[in-house]
Amino acid sequence: MEVIICENSKKAAKLTAKMIANAINEMPNLNLGLATGATMEPVYAELVQMNCSGKVDFAGVRTFNLDEYVGLGPNNKNSYRYYMDSNLFDKINILKSSTHLPDGLALDENKECERYDQLIKKLGGIDLQLLGIGNDGHIGFNEPMSSFASKTRVKVLTPETYKQNSIYFNPPESMPKRAYTMGVGTILNSKQIIMLITGKKKANIAAQAIEGPLTSMVTGSAIQLHQNVTVILDEDASSNLKMKDYYNFAFKNNPKWAKYQ
Ligand code: F6R
């Protein structure tokens, strides 16, 4: 695992976008796993800018989102399909037919989970997965005690996640209590992972996921099992890390990061 600490959240989002753009430039038909949430908004804004100024081309890229609320369709402003269309897909030159999320309106939930995992497999697996982390340590919507071997399935959200996300719903109680999510196993099958964590209120959970014991109580800690992970944090989110000096030293002294400094 490599840990990069940026001065502020803007720089962290910029670096994340640059790494994604570089991966696309190296592999124009990249299979890109995406996340939603407030942390990702500046990353998508940056990718939109880079696409508009010709620095990255999405024409050959396929995307797979981590999750979607059960019961919400593409026209619902709180659905993750709506979030992705409005923050990214409608603003870049990607083929809409190449953008995939679980279908929140699917009639058969089990079949939908099976379809999504099969689709990822059939299209060659995920090359690069972007992750955020929830206040309760979740990645995707893999709430505490999700198996590290889990595949796509429907999870009931924790009260903490409900509190974190219901602020976006009007009324807040209209937020669905269940969501489709790629499993921890699905996420670990991707070839590369970038996790972005920003803000003071994530400092504690960031330290648990990065340096704490491997435990399904903090599903984000599962990234410790992956061979190619970069965690990007801002100063605020990094404040509880014990090995901060080493991460900064490694970033400065590993030639592979020279182009990002
Ligand atoms: C959503 C997702 C979640 C979020 C997490 C953080 O697709 O994958 O795990 O990354 O809940 O959300 P924000 O960024 O809103 O704090």
Determine phi and psi for 65, rounding to 5 degrees.
-85, 155
For residue range 23-75, what is the model confidence (pLDDT) as tens digits?
999 999 999 999 999 999 999 999 999 999 999 999 999 999 999 999 999 99
Instruction: Report yes or no: 16 and 244 within 8 Å, Cβ to Cβ.
Output: no
For residue range 121-176, what is the model confidence (pLDDT) as tens digits?
999 999 999 999 999 999 999 999 999 999 999 999 999 999 999 999 999 999 99
CA–CA separation, 61 vs 64, rounded Å? 10
Nearest CA residue ID for atom 12, ligand 1:
37
SS3 content of the chain, % helix, strand, coil (to 5): 45, 15, 40
Mutate to test the pocket of ligand 1, among 34, 39, 163 (most ligand atoms within 8 A of CB): 39
The separation between CA 45 and the C-alpha centre of its own chain, rounded to angstroms, equals 15
> What's the gap in Å between 140 CA and the centre of ligand 1?
7
Nearest CA residue ID for atom 10, ligand 1:
132
Instruction: Report yes or no: 5 and 248 within 8 Å, Cβ to Cβ.
Output: yes
Element (H, E) at 68: strand 67-69
CA–CA separation, 27 vs 30, rounded Å? 5
Pocket of ligand 1 (CB under 6 A): 35-39, 66-67, 132-134, 138-140
CA–CA separation, 114 vs 117, rounded Å? 5
The structure's pTM equals 0.98
For residue range 178-197, what is the model confidence (pLDDT) as tens digits?
999 999 999 999 999 999 99
Query: Which residues carry out catalysis?
Result: 67, 136, 138, 143
> What's the gap in Å between 199 CA and the centre of ligand 1?
13
Residue 226 scores a pLDDT above 90: yes
> What's the gap in Å between 253 CA and the centre of ligand 1?
31
Q: How confident is the model at residue 177 (pLDDT cuts 50, 70, 90)?
A: very high
> What's the gap in Å between 135 CA and the centre of ligand 1?
9
Q: How confident is the model at residue 260 (pLDDT cuts 50, 70, 90)?
A: confident
Mutate to test the pocket of ligand 1, among 64, 65, 130, 138 (most ligand atoms within 8 A of CB): 138
Instruction: Report yes or no: 241 and 210 within 8 Å, Cβ to Cβ.
Output: yes
